[in-house]
Homo-oligomer: A and B are copies of this chain.
Amino acid sequence: MSTPQKSPERNKTQSRTVKVQVALRQAIIEQRLAPGIRLPEDTIGESFGTSRTIAREALQRLAVEGLVELQPNRGAFVANPSLDEGRDVFVVRQGLERMVVRHLAGNLSTQQIATLEHMLQQEELAAAQNDAEAIRLAGEFHLKLVEMTGNQLLIRYLTETISRCSLVLAMYGRPHSVDCGIEEHRQIIEALIAGDVERTSSLMEHHLDEVAGRALLEPRKTESLQDVLSSFADLLR
């Protein structure tokens, strides 16, 4: 049945579409592609050495992920979420993460605990020196947690939501607010092991409030025209 003499490597990855999709996603999350910018199918196709068909498919998928906006007969644009939409995304993330800890608390295997503590160590290592790496690891921690639930749907939703959070933070967050507090991660692990659902939930809630609130709510809140102009008006005195 199986044909092991095939390519020794993996399934060769699901063809070009996915490759383009991941590449674009990375570019968007890292803000190499600014929010609101146009994404013509032609250009993308040429860039990746493929035809419009592939580019189009990748864009469609990214659209359902919420990273690009698709306007009928007008084309694709990098998503440009408003602050309100951004808050919505964080609200959903909080709820999803709450589901994660609810299912994990008290149910961690020793293997899983070891994995988490290992990740924590890596986070601490990276915290002092490598900014980009630290941010990446902080995200991985949350992804690892949800993967441990084994709930495929939950994994998909939270993965998607987290990447959207990254986009929102990139737009409205300050340059590099250390997204996650490592100490908070440690406390969460401890509470999970202890099996205290309520405590873990509130810890996670607090943790995400920190992330969202610190970086998102404070800074360029609404930035209404009046506010901007009044701050300039002061200079006229």
Give the B-binding residues of A (Cβ under 8 A): 11, 14-15, 57, 60-61, 64, 66, 72, 85, 88-89, 91-92, 95-96, 98-99, 102-103, 151-154, 157, 161, 164
Residues in B whose Cβ lies below 8 Å from that of A103: 91
B15 in contact with A151 (CB, 8 Å): no
Among residues of B, the one whose C-beta sits closest to the C-beta of A161 is B153
A95 in contact with B95 (CB, 8 Å): yes
**Cβ contact of A154, chosen from B14, B60, B72, B92, cutoff 8 A:** B92
**Cβ contact of A72, chosen from B15, B96, B151, B152, cutoff 8 A:** B15
Given contacts A95-B98, A96-B95, contact A66 B153 (CB under 8 A): yes
How many Å from the CB of A232 to the closest CB on chain B?
22
**Cβ contact of A92, chosen from B66, B72, B157, cutoff 8 A:** B157
How many Å from the CB of A57 to the closest CB on chain B?
7
**Cβ contact of A11, chosen from B57, B72, B91, B151, cutoff 8 A:** B72
How many Å from the CB of A189 to the closest CB on chain B?
21
A61 to B151, CA, bound (A): 21
A184 to B88, CA, bound (A): 28
B57 in contact with A88 (CB, 8 Å): no
Give 24 A-B contacts (CB < 8 Å), ordered by A residue. A11-B72, A14-B72, A15-B72, A60-B60, A61-B64, A64-B64, A66-B153, A85-B152, A88-B151, A88-B153, A91-B99, A91-B103, A91-B151, A92-B99, A92-B151, A92-B153, A92-B154, A92-B157, A95-B95, A95-B98, A95-B99, A95-B154, A153-B161, A153-B164
Residues in B whose Cβ lies below 8 Å from that of A153: 66, 88-89, 92, 161, 164
Among residues of B, the one whose C-beta sits closest to the C-beta of A93 is B153
A154 to B87, CA, bound (A): 12
Pairs A-B, 10 closest by C-beta atoms = A95-B99, A88-B151, A92-B153, A64-B64, A92-B154, A14-B72, A88-B153, A89-B153, A157-B157, A11-B72
